[in-house]
Amino acid sequence: MPVGTDNRKPGPPDGLPRIAGLLVASAAAGEGKTVVASAIARSLRLDGRNVEVFLPVATGCRPDRDGLVSDSADMLAAWSESRQTLAEISPVRLASPVVPAIASAIGGPAVDIGVVFDAWRRLAARAECVIVEAPGSIICPITEDFSTLNLAECLGLPVVLVVRAEVGSLERALLAAQAARSAGLVLAGCVLNRYRADSVSDEPVEDTLRGLPGLLERLAGLKTLALVPDDPANDVRAARLAKSARFAIDQVPWGDIMGQGRAARGE
């Protein structure tokens, strides 16, 4: 059965712990999840939370003498001040820069979801809350029968959808929100990334982007939680997080949003 066609399968494994947190996913690949997830984790840490980070499956990893290293995991670790090793933050690492299911299909190692869940159990025992960066988009196939939608269901975390502010983003966000809700997930809202506030008012395309937050709320039911500016100082490979991104994310009461997600699940 194709990924995502049966949202009831698989359910959470027996004994998989629940913990407060958020799953940062995206409407499509390349929307800027790592920047947003790192900034959220930093904000929670500054708020006095015992926060950890988790990147269950990382692709496009670079070789190192100790194995494959994920730049995204490195950035998450730096800005959350994580006490975990990079291997614990990202238990499954693949060299190919494509979605995990494709990486496995073209000769890479098969993704073992059991390894992901084992790492989650260890993580849940040592943290108050966790920020999870989803592999790929919200509908990304991790294996041929397990997607990011299934992962979100198993971990029981509300979803923060990262949407890059550009032409075409509205359609992607609508589809992503529909997929998440069809799977029974709690959508906390969205973060508009690489948003330009200096748009020229007489340009129709720029006017559309300026009105994107309102359109997302009216058409997709997605509240815009933050507008992260388009800032070249954000650099995942160098683990740099721009002051503008930090400021935008710090304005959001992430602790309250995590609590709302738990309330929606009846916890």
Please, are residues 160 and 189 in contact by the beta-carbon 8 Å criterion?
Answer: yes
Q: Is residue 4 part of a domain?
A: no
Q: Is residue 266 part of a domain?
A: no
Question: What is the per-residue pLDDT across 147-176, written as a single tens digit (0 to 9) for each?
Answer: 999 999 999 999 999 999 887 888 999 999
Q: Is residue 227 part of a domain?
A: yes
Give the other-Cβ count within 10 Å of 253's Cβ.
Answer: 12
Question: What is the per-residue pLDDT across 213-236, written as a single tens digit (0 to 9) for each?
Answer: 898 999 989 999 999 999 999 999
Q: Is residue 247 part of a domain?
A: yes
> Which pLDDT belongs to residue 41?
98
Domain range enclosing 250? 20-260
- What total of structural domains would you count in the chain? 1
Find how far residue 121's CA is from the centre of its chain: 19
Mean pLDDT of the chain: 87
**End-to-end Cα, the chain, rounded Å:** 32
Q: What is the DSSP letter of 107?
A: T
Q: Which of 262, 253, 264 is nearest to 44 (CA)?
A: 253
Q: Is residue 126 part of a domain?
A: yes
Q: Is residue 215 part of a domain?
A: yes
- Bigger pLDDT: 220 or 44? 44
Gyration radius of the chain's alpha carbons: 17
Helix (H, G, I), strand (E, B) or coil at 8: coil
Give the mean model confidence (pLDDT) for residues 82-89.
93
Identify the CATH number of the domain in which residue 147 sits. Answer: 3.40.50.300
- Confidence class for position 4, pLDDT limits 50, 70, 90: very low
